[in-house]
Structure 1
Amino acid sequence: MLNVRRKSKWDLRDIWEGICYVTRTGCQWRLLPIGYPPWQTVYWYFRRWTMDGTIEIAHQEIRKAIRREEGKKESASIGIIDSCSVRMNATSGMQHGIDGNKKIKELKRHVIADSPGNRCCCTHAANIHDSKGAKQVLGKFNNSKCDEPNLEQIFADAGYRGKLIKWVKEQLKMNRTIVKRRDKTIQWAVQPKRWIMERTFAWLLNF
């Protein structure tokens, strides 16, 4: 899967591990440890694989392997969508906004995940409402190399009500289910399906 026409004296696995190191630690490319290939080489492959979709395909293959190990079909039939506003640094991107509800200025991570928590993610300004931002992540998910032919049901919270349900049915040929709180008198309780997304957000905090 990682075969390329360009000859390199560096092993592709070492280059891939260098990309993973930057992703895991958040360090600058120039601070890549000496044990890895030169940062210029690692970055060249990262940019090349990002532009031609190789990284998306690799993520999809890893996701399929995880699902097989858990005894599930390779293609998911349900997805869970949610967003999380996060504070970023000055070089995080061009889109910035204020989430008035969470009182957070910067970006939103908008994620759709399957039941094990594997995800497709996009970012946008925090002031974009979930119902509008959902079209971005769902559109990216539907048009990417990570298409899910069996995906037919999307679970979401009450923030995704309104015209989005019609758009999902017409454009993506999927159904959407709103997961509501069972009892408003209970301050905190695990919500069906939605807890999976909360776990996914917890994982993302480590990267």
Structure 2
Amino acid sequence: MTLIVDSQSVKGASTVGRNIRGYDAAKQINGRKRHITMDTLGLPVMITVTPADIQDRDAARDVFWRLRLTQPQITQVWADRGYAGELVDWARDRLWLTLRIVSRPKGVKGFVVLPRRWKVERTIGWCMNARRNARDYERLPQHSEAHLHWALITMMTRRLTRKSPRTSHWTKKTP
């Protein structure tokens, strides 16, 4: 089984305590970081919320360890450059996971859709459609995780209960 992992920093509201928030210097955000792990179909497998000052590769150790315990069939994980370094060796040696780093094309500036990672970016964007997810209002990280799960369950339920697929007008043949 292959997974895709990414993180997102979001601002914390005044209800978020100082001891459970941090400052992400790269994105200049004071709040929390959401680590979302999903399968290649786009279904979320695990969501973890940490203070924003935790580096991706440091939080990934806990995420990968929990994934290995709950999902032993996982063999490889796709990630961005934030997860590079000795984490690749640690995941291979300790957890028998192949961590593959997806790099940006050389010389390209701005936003680029990276292969194999666009699904997790798309899901993060869909999570932001639920207004309450635009900022972290929850006092505890566990409540934030539960709210993200709730938003994703709502989104998936709506997609499953549609009367017709959205792509039906593309697949209909004209006479």
The TM-score normalised by the length of structure 1 is 0.57
Q: Tell me what 1:108 maps to.
A: 33
Aligned partner of 1:118 among 43, 52, 61: 43
In the TM superposition, residue 185 of structure 1 has moved relative to its aligned partner by 3.0
Task: Give, in whole Å, the separation in 1 of the partners of 2:88 and 2:75.
Answer: 13
Give, as a single letter, the amino acid of the residue that structure 1 aligns with 2:114.
Q
Task: Give, in whole Å, the separation in 1 of the partners of 2:56 and 2:111.
Answer: 22
1:164 aligns with 2:87: yes
Task: Give, in whole Å, the separation in 1 of the partners of 2:65 and 2:118.
Answer: 23
Q: Tell me what 1:142 maps to.
A: 68
Q: Tell me what 1:78 maps to.
A: 2
Give, as a single letter, the amino acid of the residue that structure 1 aligns with 2:75.
E
In the TM superposition, residue 148 of structure 1 has moved relative to its aligned partner by 4.6
Give the match's secondary structure for 1:90: coil
Q: Percent identity over the alignment? A: 32
Task: Give, in whole Å, the separation in 1 of the partners of 2:48 and 2:20.
Answer: 12
Q: Tell me what 2:23 maps to.
A: 98
Unaligned runs of 5+ in 2: 131-150, 152-175
In the TM superposition, residue 87 of structure 1 has moved relative to its aligned partner by 1.4
Structure with the higher fraction of residues in strand conformation: 2
8 Å contact from structure 1 (residues 122, 136) kept in 2: no
Give, as a single letter, the amino acid of the residue that structure 2 aligns with 1:192.
P
Q: Deviations over 1:82-115 (max 9, x none)?
A: 1100113233465110000111001000111111
8 Å contact from structure 1 (residues 111, 137) kept in 2: no
Give, as a single letter, the amino acid of the residue that structure 2 aligns with 1:155.
W
Task: Give, in whole Å, the separation in 1 of the partners of 2:121 and 2:51.
Answer: 20
Give the match's secondary structure for 1:176: strand
Residues 185/122 of structure 1: CA separation in 2 closer, same or farther (3 Å cut): closer
Give the match's secondary structure for 1:154: strand
Matches within 5 A, 1:186-201: 186-201=109-124
Give, as a single letter, the amino acid of the residue that structure 2 aligns with 1:108.
K
Task: Give, in whole Å, the separation in 2 of the partners of 1:131 and 1:164.
Answer: 6
Give the match's secondary structure for 2:107: coil
* The structure with more radius of gyration: 1
Question: Which one has more relative contact order, counting CA pairs under 8 Å at least 6 apart?
Answer: 2
In the TM superposition, residue 196 of structure 1 has moved relative to its aligned partner by 1.0
Runs of 4+ in 1 over 4 A off after TM superposition: none
Give the match's secondary structure for 1:202: helix
Residues 96/186 of structure 1: CA separation in 2 closer, same or farther (3 Å cut): closer
Give the match's secondary structure for 2:92: helix
Unaligned runs of 5+ in 1: 1-76
Between the two proteins, the alignment pairs up a number of residues equal to 128
Residues 203/185 of structure 1: CA separation in 2 closer, same or farther (3 Å cut): closer
